[in-house]
Amino acid sequence: MLPLGETDDVGDWPRIRELAEVAEAEGLDSLWVADHFFHKPPDGEAQGLHEAWTLLSAVAGVTSRVELAPLVLCSAFRNPGLLAHMAATLDVVSQGRLILGVGAGWHDPEFEAFGYPADHKVSRFEEWVEIVIRLLRGEHVTFEGTYYKTRDAVVVPAPKRQIPILIAGNKPRMMRLVARHADSWNTAWFGMPDDRLHERLRDLDAALDEEERDRGSLERSVGLLVRDPDQPGDEEDDEWFSGSVGEVAELLRAHEQLGLSHAIVILEPRTPQSVRRLAEAVKLMRG
């Protein structure tokens, strides 16, 4: 996960670019960004973030191999036709490196601040994601829903490949949409596997069975929180996994053994040293 905040130099463009270039050079597989206007705790000030899609486009221009993805785009913030056109274009710009991560959104202060409807988030997402997927498959889409309507809509030029769709969600309705539409699913944020993770994996299997979909046809990814104990940082609570390079390799291996094929990692602190340390753990894990 690349930093997006503008509260200090960790979130400015030169540092973001440096971390992206180090990750690619060290052999990591993918770079991810969050999609928020801001985060506002109940008793605090709003903390701003750079715009996700603009940063992904910029990172596409300074890398050549790593996959690029949002974790995840909030469906409410962008019309489905606009988003499908944006995705098709970024996939061309990045030469086929986009993973389109999408979700329904959750942080109500953002919705309220900018006038987005915060009700029926999953119902709105259900219509939105169907339109997006059909457009990205090259269809002419006529859709008459409760929240979205299209009439012979089409994305031209059409995508040159089938862009993989990742959906993040853990509640039953979102799980069913994952089973129905997604190429990949993400759940976050974790340290070592725990009861909460095992429950989510069971719920996912149940949703796949309900949709009569082969469990093995869906890629599963997990978001991890990893702190380097040898560097000063801000995060000290128990949610963060703190250990040696070898222990981080074991962390990755433990999730791989559960069938999770991709780990998306927030590092603390977010420094080139942390990125190189993660890459070393990945190499050790892969043997």
* pLDDT tens digits, 267-282: 999 999 999 999 999 9
**List of residues 6+ apart from 20 with CB closer than 8 A:** 2, 31, 59, 62, 63, 66
pLDDT over 60 (residue 9): no
Instruction: Establish if 121 belongs to a structural domain.
Output: yes
Global pTM?
0.95
- Of 78-82, 193-197, 216-220, 228-232, the one with minimum mean pLDDT is 228-232
CA atoms within 13 A on the CB side of 11: 14
pLDDT over 90 (residue 179): yes
Q: Determine contact, residues 2/60, Cβ cutoff 8 Å.
A: no
Q: What is the pLDDT of residue 43?
A: 84
pLDDT over 90 (residue 237): no
CATH number of the domain encompassing residue 55 = 3.20.20.30
Give Cα 51 distance to the centre of its chain: 14
Helix residue ranges, H only, 142-265: 172-181, 195-210, 245-256
Q: What is the pLDDT of residue 44?
A: 82
pLDDT over 80 (residue 21): yes
Please report where in the chains the tokens 């790593």 appear, as a residue. 66
Q: Which amino acid is located at 175 in the chain?
A: M
Instruction: Establish if 52 belongs to a structural domain.
Output: yes
Domain range holding 144?
Answer: 9-168
CA dihedral 111, 117, 118, 124 (to 10 degrees): -120
Total of domains in the chain: 1
Instruction: Establish if 217 belongs to a structural domain.
Output: no
Instruction: Establish if 44 belongs to a structural domain.
Output: yes
Instruction: Establish if 257 belongs to a structural domain.
Output: no
Structure-model confidence comparison of residues 9 and 238, the more confident one = 238
Instruction: Establish if 153 belongs to a structural domain.
Output: yes
Instruction: Establish if 190 belongs to a structural domain.
Output: no
Q: How do 47-48 and 38-39 pair as beta strands?
A: antiparallel
Instruction: Establish if 46 belongs to a structural domain.
Output: yes
